[in-house]
Structure 1
Amino acid sequence: MSLTESHPQPGAAAHREIPGPAGLPVLGSMLDLRRDSLATFLGAQREHGDVIRLEAGPPGLRSVFYALFAPEGVQQVLASQAANFRKDHPLYEEVRQSFGNGLLTSQDADYLRQRRLVQPLFTKRRVDGYASAVTTEAGTLADRWHTARDQTVDLVPEMNRLALRTVSRILFGVDAEQAVAAIHRCLPVINAYVVQRAYVPVKLPRHWPTPANLRARAATDELNAVCDNVIAERRAAGTDVAEGDDLLSLLSAAGNDEDGSLDATEIREQVLIFLLAGHETTATSLAFTLHLLARHPDEQAAVRAEIDRVLGGRTPTAADLDRLPRLTRALKEAMRLYPAAPVVSRRAVAATEIGGYRIPAGADVVVSPWVTHRNPALWPDPERFDPDRFTPEREAERHRYAWFPFGGGPRACIGQHFSMLESVLALAVLLRAYELEAVDEEVPVAAGITLQATGPARVRLRPRAGSGGGAGE
């Protein structure tokens, strides 16, 4: 049933059984969800509709949750009834324990205070000031690609490193280099640990000395030390951490009469959340945009013609963001097909009617950009790469929550303008320097904290005559 269909009479929702896959007699859908949760959700929507119920795990340890796929249901969860759907889901609790209580995981008064303190760091004017850091790192990568073995690179690790170097430079300023290696080493360990713990029926205490606990603790301690050491070294050198224009300095200086300021632990927790949310998501968008363009040479040529026309030989700036609409459409279409946050989890406080069904109080609820972005009623021929879906006219025709890679409502991603700016400028630098030819046609993916490529996304590079490979003059 689509949420756009007429609803039953009041009270009827309480008596309607929510459909869903039967799964196995003992384990329910647990094995399907572990094997490929995204395919399981997509198949359930195709077979059972836009409101489904799933069970996973053996009797006595079985978890039950509800998935909502239509834009109207997504809007209820993320926006119009956001206060009723909290971040009390086990995944957020695990993220909170590993990375601290930053903007991604905090709630209620803590969240509102943090948001007020951090919001000035993400104004358009402030974010536009980071454009040179983006183009510098993208230009360095373009230069390095000239030495690529067999002129072939795997976009997944390449974009991960580019996004990590960029967000580290913006967070730490001159101290970025010392942080990159530790972050690159530690984040995957912690991410895997968080996801594994979030979805097992029985969790061993974190303080038990199991191999997994010990690995995660060592990675967490090292990551915490990176942030602490940057601040300590600046102070030892006699440099006030609040005098710079990197995000760490701005966080240190943030404050107002109502909310006070962030203490050292809060600053570190915000930095860790920015590292987690600010590089993996952008890396995913960059890698899949480039790979999709490599698979579609005509669209790649059209995007490059726009870049050449707008930029000529100069370095792109923040002012060019609105001058590259075709490139932006290609990015948005890649984010439709490969949303960096493919599944978003919440927990219902009170019983709620959604799409003619009653979602009980205390229920775990998920919405899924991965599924909603593939609904053929919203996106004809949904697996086809078609950037023209994002012309202004076609965007205006769609429901606001037919496309929601940045979430929505009061908890929408605070860094979405930064993500779009970074992505468009980095893509412009790389596509001006190289033509790309796909080596791998399909890239397998899986859902973690963010969307994870589980196979390579290799492309063959052809340097363009006179490009120089870098960010330009």
Structure 2
Amino acid sequence: MNPALAIDTPRPLNEYTPTTLEMLKAVRREGFLGWMLNTWRQQGDLFRIRMGSQSFVLVTHPDHVRDINVTRRERYDKGESYDVLRELLLGNGIVTATGDDWRRQRKLMAPFFTPRGVEKFYPIFLSDTQQLMERWRSRHLGSGRPVEMLDEMMLVTASVILHSVFSTESDEAVLRIKDSIETMLTHISDMRVRPVRVPQWVPTPGNLRFRRAQKLVTDYIRELIARRRALPTEQWPDDLLTKLMTTKDEETGMLMAEQLLIDNGLTMFAAGHETTARTLSFLWYALSQNPEVERRLHAELDSVLGDAPPTLNDLKRLPYTLQVVKEVLRLYPAAPMYARDAVADDELDGVRIPAGTRMIIFTYGTHRHPAFWDEPERFDPDRWLPEREAARHSYAYHPFAIGPRICLGNNFSLLETHVMTAMLARRFKLRLKPGHVPRIDMSGTLGSRNGLPMLIEAR
């Protein structure tokens, strides 16, 4: 492929225009994600899908992923595709900000999320996982009753984020904020797939639930900020909210404005707990379906950890555990696709991309591209042996996006997942409910339409 700009003879972009009936039948039969996967396999690595008045270009090949996110990134940004998230959930926080506003926020916040920076939250990862283990032992172990694994993982990752960002201590507050954020996320996901968008001011039951949840969360963050400002700064807890409240912009010398503190508090919680919970849920599913992988994982954990919880140094001696995590992120990326909007005319592989084009980067497809992955549907953690990883196309794997706008919390999520996998897999086996076949699909993020009910067994 030739990613260079070729303005002389651009070739037309292949287009696919399914009828509404055709698409509905396919989605009912295969799920939306399955339909997208099959459409990519039939249409190729770069093509436009038109659905009524809506259209987007599906991007799958690693070369194009690189061009949009790295080498030609000045021509793409988070534009109109993110307007709903800006309006209803994240405001102008780090995920949805653009241009100089984004650059200032990224520069201010990036030091908190380096591999070394996120190690300060290690005690929270340990203590919250230990609490989950105790709850499993007292409530679920040997009961013969399956638990919904996504709910279990959502609860522990929500606790981790609320402790890390806000120093929230109350279990009741954790549940209340978690449930409210999930109500908001579900409302936004449902709204995106409706053929007609009902304005937010219309008092439908869904809109009213959303407003109540939004008010609860924003009031909670606003009150936390007010209580801290009423205290001497030396009494403020050492959490992410305090860091955002006390770190000055190097260019302006100004502190972050209150609305931006609220926006970023919401962003860190909404983006930080759900995606990690989905990764962990699919990790337990993958282990239950791959007994040899599970055996090797258990052998490594038993030989390194014994009966003690892992230390940071122990994690360096658990490479296979991290390989398992990376393979889960490949086959089951929490965000199966993400958008970028062309803000200037461009060409990709000789195809003209006009400004205003919505580009959907299909991570789920890239991670299954047969030109870059042998037996792509097979769960194989040995893909992540150092020599095999080094030989692979650098942009064939992007579960957290890639380039300057890679997810800011990727190091936090990887460390959290590594710790929880080590601790939980050392003590428990999780088994999919007999006869249950997950219907894997996406509604904003990856999930199973009929859940992931699992039995918790002791090791």
TM-score normalised by L of structure 2: 0.91
Once the two structures are overlaid, the 10-residue window that deviates more, 269-278 or 455-464, is 455-464
Match of 2:245 in 1: 252
Match of 1:371 in 2: 365
Whether contact under 8 Å (2:3, 2:67) holds in the other structure is: no
Are the aligned partners of 1:153 and 1:460 in contact in 2 as well (CA < 8 Å)? yes
Distance (whole Å) between structure 1 residues aligned to residue 185 and residue 25 of structure 2:
21
Structure 1 residue 425 and structure 2 residue 425: aligned? no
Listed one character per residue, the Cα deviations across residues 69-125 of structure 1 (whole Å, up to 9, x for unaligned) are: 1000111111111121111133x1111112211001001111111112212221333
The one-letter code of the counterpart of 1:94 is V
Aligned to 1:53: 48
Which amino acid in the other structure matches residue 355 of structure 2? Answer: A
8 Å CA contact 1:343, 1:447 repeated in 2: no
The AA in structure 2 aligned to 1:157 is D
Cα displacement string for residues 216-243 of structure 1 (whole angstroms, at most 9, x for unaligned residues): 211111111121233344556x464873
Query: For each residue in 1:7-66, what CA deviation from the matched residue of structure 2 results, as whole angstroms up to 9, or x when unmatched?
Result: 99863324x24142x311x67747756883322221111111101111112xxxx11111
- Structure 1 pair 301–50 and aligned structure 2 pair: CA distance change class (3 A): same
Q: Quick one: distance in 2 between partners of 1:361 and 1:28?
A: 29
Q: Which amino acid aligns with 2:119?
A: D
What is aligned with 1:390?
384
Q: Deviations over 1:403-453 (max 9, x none)?
A: 100101110111111111000001111011112333266422332332233
Q: In structure 2, do the counterparts of structure 1 residues 245 and 354 end up closer, same or farther at CA, with 3 Å as the change threshold?
A: same
Any idea what SS the aligned residue of 1:130 has? helix
Task: Tell me if structure 1 keeps the 8 A contact 2:183–2:213.
Answer: yes
3-state SS, counterpart of residue 150 of structure 1: coil
Match of 1:451 in 2: 446
Deviates more, 1:197-206 or 1:149-158: 197-206
Are 1:318 and 2:312 matched, yes or no?
A: yes
CA contact (8 A) 1:235 1:241 kept: no
Counterpart position of 1:95: 85
1:297 alignment counterpart:
291
String of CA shifts for 1:130-178, please: whole Å, max 9, x gaps. 1111111111111111221316333211111111111111112144534
> Structure 1: how far apart are the matches of 2:336 and 2:106?
24
Alignment gaps of 5+ in structure 2: none
- One-letter identity of the residue aligned with 1:414: L
Measured in 1, the distance between the counterparts of 2:397 and 2:226 equals 43
Kindly indicate whether the alpha-carbon contact (under 8 Å) linking 1:228 and 1:268 is maintained by their aligned counterparts in 2: yes
2:301 is the alignment partner of 1:307: yes
Are the equivalent residues in 2 in contact too, given 1:38–1:446 (CA < 8 A)? yes
Q: Distance in 2 between matches of 1:232 and 1:221?
A: 16
Residue in structure 2 matched with residue 401 of structure 1 by the alignment: 395
Please tell me whether the aligned partners of residues 175 and 230 of structure 1 are also in contact (alpha carbons under 8 angstroms): no
Distance 1:275 1:242, change over 3 A: farther
Aligned to 1:206: 200
How many residue pairs end up in the alignment?
A: 452
Match of 1:413, SS? coil
Aligned AA for 1:189?
T
Distance 1:414 1:29, change over 3 A: same
The correspondence for 1:265, drawn from 256, 259, 264, is 259
Report which stretch shifted further, 172-181 or 424-433. Answer: 172-181
- Equivalent-residue separation in structure 2 for 1:396 and 1:121 (angstroms): 28
Opposite residue 72 of structure 2, the aligned amino acid is: Q
Distance 1:242 1:172, change over 3 A: same
1:75 aligns with 2:75: no
Q: Decide which moves more: 352-361 or 101-110.
A: 352-361
Counterpart in 2 of 1:462? 457
Query: Structure 2 counterpart of 1:314, which letter?
Result: A
| Structure 1 residue 313, shift from structure 2 partner | 1.9
The verdict on how the C-alpha distance between 1:122 and 1:45 changes in structure 2, with shifts beyond 3 A counting, is same
TM-score between both structures, scaled by the size of structure 1: 0.89
Q: CA RMSD in A?
A: 2.4
- CA distance in 2 between counterparts of 1:309 and 1:454 reads 37
User: Do the aligned residues in 2 keep the contact of 1:346 with 1:366 (CA within 8 Å)?
Assistant: yes
Matching of residues 133-148 of structure 1 within 5 Å: 133-146=124-137, 147-148=139-140
Identity, % of aligned positions: 33
Bigger shift: 345-354 or 195-204? 195-204
Q: 1:184 to 1:442 in 2, by over 3 A?
A: same
